Amino acid sequence: MENEEYEGRIKALGIMVVMVIAILIARVGYLQVFDGEYYASLADGNRIRIIPSMAPRGTFYDRNGALLVTNRPGFTVSLLPLTAPVSEDVIERLSQLLHVPVEDIHAKVDAHSGFDPIRIKQDVTSDIVSIIEEQKNLYPGVVIEVQPIRNYILKQEAAHTFGYVSEISDEELERRKDEGYKSGDIIGKFGLEKIYDHELRGENGGEQVEVDVSGKPVQILGIKEPVPGADLYLTIDKNLQMAAEQAVDDQLAMIHASAAAAVVLNPQTGEVLAMVSRPAFDPNLFAHGISTKDWNEINNNPYHPMDNKAITGEYPPGSTFKIVTGTAALAAGKVSPEEKIFDSGHHWIIPKGNADGEALGWLNFTEAMAHSDNVYFYEMGNRLGIDNLEHYARMFGLGKVTGIDLPYEADGLVANRAYKRKVFDDDWYLSETFDAAIGQGFNLVTPLQAAMVMGEIAANGKCYKPHLVNRIMTQDGKIIKEFQPELLSELDVSQNVINLVQTGLHDVTKYGTAARIFAGFPVEIAGKTGTAENSQGRDHGWFVAYGPFDNPTVVVAVIVEQGGYGATSAVPIGRKILEAAFGLNQPAAAPAPANGQAAP
């Protein structure tokens, strides 16, 4: 070369070239060696998606193993969250297919975080499933999840007992996060579904899938099978439950009443055999999100279909309270069984009498009970005083929850001085003692409490905790929990007193207020009718009963809201339920057994 002066420029070029490569190697080393783990996790986040599979909830069986509540497979259309945004075309197409507004889909996508699927619509028809499956290319990122959907086979029957399930609310989620509840979970909201949610829900599983950039699953990397929830074996007898529902419905239709409740239990164990509340609702409506129309229909019903009247309905006990008053009077020695009291149509201190003003003349204890004579029991109240009445009412367990395994149970109310002082800031008057003695005034009981009172007489004073579940068992047969009869309390009265009350109640169906309807009934029944005054409208009709008289295994309590006299509204229902309980309805319903065992 002629000019060596510029040789240095070439060297500089060489140095630059080496530096360029050195910088690039350093940069690549930094990304791959120093930060490699971080980027590896990002790469996994790109390609790995978890598609959860929901554990099927536990099944409900009746005491004889008949299916009550189960699951059916339902298809949910979901979107996989992707690295790239979901294309507008796909959202548009999906919106048309599912009849879900585009804005709703956008809202769900925007609100979603994390990598689990965004549920767009639950429980779609199989037509929609096959359209999406067949035209996969038109629906990239759209997946069909198979989710078990709660299936209440009996529809609205026993709805209040079983309860219903629905998606977890924000507030519930906040409260129960620590127990492993997650957003979007299905949770029991009412009834047994709520109380035993923890046992019923099982453990969700999932599939780990590798997806490509459009969200198309490429391969399954791992599967965790969901663990199904534990099954509930209820104390409910399906046939009796259905007979009770039928009896209530028939009677309501006949007398044009709208609301009623009935409880059937075994007084010697506390097992609830049937529980009815009317009006009712279909819990299936909630399983995949209730429609506004259905919800409004339920919400606008003045008789509150969502209330379980058997445990939350608080009614004046009416004459059924005479069981308490009578037991108290005998136990406290305020009256002897032989003493006769004259009913002239009204009491001599305060002119209160029987409902229709009839006068029944001289009556002893059992006769007064059989005829439900008000004057006799006014006098018992008069002799006992309100404090004694309160004492015995509480001994029977009134004024507080029974502790049944259902949510929202009401306390009821025992008439007492302190309550009046507190609420009305007033002294107690004798006339209020009179009212209390025949179950009017301040006293309030739930149908379940009414059944419990009757049950305590039937079980010679023993009070067993009412319950709906016999045992909880996993699907592979492991017993998680078994419920034994639990003695809550015992009446502190002599057996003699109880025998006398029992005799009086037996006489009710022999020659007393329920005699006409129970004429010729083949099983010996003790009962008590009641008519509770209702300031809002017609009187509520009550009937409580147990049988067989010698060894009672069934207690029934029935109330018909605004049904008028207990003897004409509630007693016919009680009789039909007792018929079913003792299998007396079989000949009349000869083809029925097949019906009763319909779902194996």
As measured in angstroms, the least distance from the Cβ of 242 to other proteins is 56
As measured in angstroms, the least distance from the Cβ of 222 to other proteins is 16
As measured in angstroms, the least distance from the Cβ of 150 to other proteins is 37
As measured in angstroms, the least distance from the Cβ of 312 to other proteins is 52
Q: Which is nearer to other proteins, 36 or 101 (CB)?
A: 36
**Using CA atoms, how far apart are residues 409 and 401, in angstroms rounded to an integer?**
6
As measured in angstroms, the least distance from the Cβ of 138 to other proteins is 18
Beta strands 67-79; 118-124: pairing state: antiparallel
As measured in angstroms, the least distance from the Cβ of 37 to other proteins is 8
Q: Could you write out the three-class secondary structure of 284-305?
A: HHHHCCCCHHHHHHHHCCCCCC
What does the buried/exposed string (b/e) look like for 245-267 if buried means 16 or more CB atoms within 10 Å of the residue's CB? bbbbbebbeebebebbbbbbbbb
Q: Which is nearer to other proteins, 83 or 291 (CB)?
A: 83
**Using CA atoms, how far apart are residues 20 and 24, in angstroms rounded to an integer?**
6
Q: Which is nearer to other proteins, 46 or 183 (CB)?
A: 46
Q: Which is nearer to other proteins, 1 or 519 (CB)?
A: 1
As measured in angstroms, the least distance from the Cβ of 109 to other proteins is 13
Q: Which is nearer to other proteins, 44 or 225 (CB)?
A: 44
CA dihedral 595→596→597→600, nearest 10 degrees, is 100
Q: Which is nearer to other proteins, 33 or 111 (CB)?
A: 33
Q: Which is nearer to other proteins, 2 or 476 (CB)?
A: 2
Strand partners, 76: 145
Q: Which is nearer to other proteins, 142 or 263 (CB)?
A: 142
Q: Which is nearer to other proteins, 114 or 361 (CB)?
A: 114
Q: Residue 543 has which token pair?
A: 């009937």
CA gyration radius, the chain: 34
Q: Residue 8 has which token pair?
A: 């240095």
| Secondary structure element (H or E) that encloses residue 464, with its range | strand 462-464
As measured in angstroms, the least distance from the Cβ of 210 to other proteins is 7
Of 401, 378, 382, 398, the closest CA to residue 390 belongs to 398
**Using CA atoms, how far apart are residues 105 and 78, in angstroms rounded to an integer?**
10
As measured in angstroms, the least distance from the Cβ of 24 to other proteins is 5
As measured in angstroms, the least distance from the Cβ of 169 to other proteins is 32
C-alpha to C-alpha distances, 312 to 412, 448, 553, nearest whole angstrom: 9, 9, 25
Please give the distance of CA 9 from its chain centroid, rounded to a whole number: 90
**Using CA atoms, how far apart are residues 389 and 428, in angstroms rounded to an integer?**
13
Say how many C-beta atoms besides its own lie within 10 A of residue 335's C-beta.
Answer: 20
**Using CA atoms, how far apart are residues 405 and 192, in angstroms rounded to an integer?**
7
**What is the contact surface with other proteins in residues (CB under 8 A)?**
1, 3, 5-7, 9-10, 12-14, 16-18, 20-21, 23-25, 27-29, 31-33, 35-40, 42-44, 46-47, 83-85, 210-214, 218
Q: Which is nearer to other proteins, 13 or 102 (CB)?
A: 13
Strand partners, 73: 148
